[in-house]
Structure 1
């Protein structure tokens, strides 16, 4: 066989190899796919039947639970306990309840001795359960089988009158046959059905046995069980068992086998045909190339054209030797060009990273109106999901909330309307109308033909907040410079006052009234000096000394440091810590920020309140977030613009510099300190710190 194959042409060899490989691969794939699919189909059938059994069991459990709820509502009715209500009214009330639910054989009321004093329907024998029904606890009975073959369940609850006195009990008698309809409505194919089985002994019904095979009247069935848990801890236990004929259940497997064999046969025929075509396509260019090489080598005396091999590949290899040096030279040129292409790919990757990291939203649109690229910021501003970004154009009518914005882009692109600082509104289900501000820039070629357009946008509210932060930072900086000079001028006369007061007090007796007055003066001077010290910290904050430190460890230490304040004010604190929280920070200054904010939160809280401290790390935005949320009364709207103003405070002993100093420290870390007063209760302080390269 091998000798015959060696003497055949290259086309036959390739065809034989392709057909053999195809047959081998199809055999492996067929066996694997068959095995996995059969197991999957059986598992799917088991899951289907288990789901039906569990759903049926759940319906039964819900049905019985609703009966427990019925007796609770009935026991709380004032009609059964108020003395001024006539027995006829109570009887009509019970009759209406039975008529409304159509589930109970009877409903009756017993006194404290267990005697039936009011009833509707047929009351069964209850001698053994009188004490239970007249007791002070709710009760659900086991299943009681009657002489007529009916199974009953009793639901009882005590009756308490308006004075809180136990006056008896109310009992509902449910015929267990009422739930048969739930089981009888279960349908699985043509042969499937369900059964509810009750046992009079305790079994572990929580374990699912999986799918089992059962033979009934010569028919093979598959079956699964699901426990009915409502009877625990009583003796009677139940389970729902569903059945389906194995022939019907696994009919899809027989169809699958036929389909699989047909598909494999068609694929084999198709690949055999493709093998013939491919082998011909491979060998024909080789033969043509050999003819051209023979023409090229006719005048080359280095090679003997008469010594030709029988195999086409060997012959072709022999012919290529003459071009070896030329190919080496060409390969060098290709490598140089490939290196340049790789360098350009690297540049494109850097440009793509810059495009995604720019805080402004950027859209690019081609000459047809299709949106070709959307950076992350633009997607966030326009509230676009990943799915919405695909195949988006300015003609898109599916995204109705962007209709006005896309219409403006269409006018700008095709009517050469330039927008500079144009404001447009987009709608959002949660935030309502959101204003955005955008600019457009059309691109044309040298001949003036339209190439596309670039759109740069910003969230208008975010831009306003950014401008407000810049204005506030500038105002605080100017105020700080002015404050430094004023504090210095105040400090000098204070030092003189303190010195002279101390000298005069030294000459006086401690019991002298003047000595006491001077002591008050010195205390006030000390207080002013402390205020000036904090004032100077606000005006000229010390230089940052940054080190690598864990923000979580810093927060833990700060909470322990002011632990007495939490205990004294009876306020609890909860800290939710994220991972990867090591940052370059000034440890002492950031600790001062946390102390200021936590003390404010404690002072705003009432006894029993909780302060939540939470850290989050957003690596894609290079942002570290600290949230401090209290449960106080919040900040009044008219005070929101003043809380960062130095010396503004609503507390008698406050200096009004805590938030101002904290803001300066956070801004020196190139971060942002914000107050969110939109909570239903309390205030949230946000500290946003850049992890690297500043905030995005």
Structure 2
């Protein structure tokens, strides 16, 4: 809409309403004066012709009484020929011409603004008919002279009327245009109240319109505030949920992606690509749920994804709703429960086996010792008895470990200085480490603390350090790191030994599993059991030929279990 359209729509009708009466009045006045001028011309002509006949009759009387002769009479008649209104003189009507009645007769013509009249009169003394033609025009100088003031008044009145109409139309159109611009701004998202000076004090419909718009805007602002609050609440609800939510139309337009989804998308580089491929499946008629295991920036993640088709009112699928839940912690807890159940079953079995074997072993060792004292044995036979006792002692130690594994002591947790416990454990394997020339790099923060059973921590570190010492070749290297990260303490033991194959990693903490021909396979099983008993977590990373890293995670202070939190990375 152009700027002056409203003014034009108001101006043109107003001009017609105002100017047409003025023009009609002026034309009516001009026509009235023109008719009066015509009647005046008719009357003047009639009077002149009557005077002409009277003078002619008087001259004829002078001839009849002898005052003048015929020659003088003709001469006087010739001089008496008069012209009315500077037009042609009276013309006698011949016998051949059409006989017209006396008086004024209008001749047919097609000229606009001009009229041709003829005045027929009969000489009362000679009975000869004369005609006198006359042309009347509304545009004659005489008429213009008579009507000039009327025309001037009409022109002045028209100019004033036009000016007043323009002022009036502007006065009406300006607030309407302002209110229209204000309504346009509302359509573009503005909510500013209309300027009150535009309509206040007018006492007309525009003031009513302005007040109505003001009330409408105030109502809209209240509704907008309510909608904004509802939208903010929905956004907080969507962003606060544990599920990642993603909605996309069939043509690929993204409708929604909450913060949880964005965090998973950022931490798992391949996640969004896999989702996009998954959503392109042509079979979208029903709900589908899958479990994915993907690599993230913080390790492997277990994700539960689900897609649901969204239908319109006609039942046609128009979009897809996809949700994702990070179930890494749930899987970790399930694994812990499974491990605990498996270890518990193995512990019971180990306890039964240990009891069944330990007593016969004690009898066998006693018998061997008695026979060795009573019999006369040579050196070779005595060595055989010593070997029997040595193997019995070795079996007894294995059974003792099995009993420890099957019935671990209850954890008496407290805040322990990690450095102190590490030094105690390190002293116990110092001789074995030195014998192989293994160097140890310590990167331990002295302020690091652990919320754990002190004896359990000592046994955990001892078993891990022994395992690393056995894995490292002569002249190898070990590195021990301990640091705080939030509410947790991380302990990393790294060696540059032979490493562990991918096939052996899942079985590493299984009881009796070992790659050491002299080992029992219970050391790491005990480590895992004691770590779990203290609400901790143990992880292993290894590359064959490069080395292995054991990561132990414990609470710094009393709190929730490690790994029980929901990962938001």
TM range (shorter): 0.3 to 0.5
Q: Which of 1 and 2 has greater Rg? A: 2
Q: What TM-score, normalized to structure 2? A: 0.48
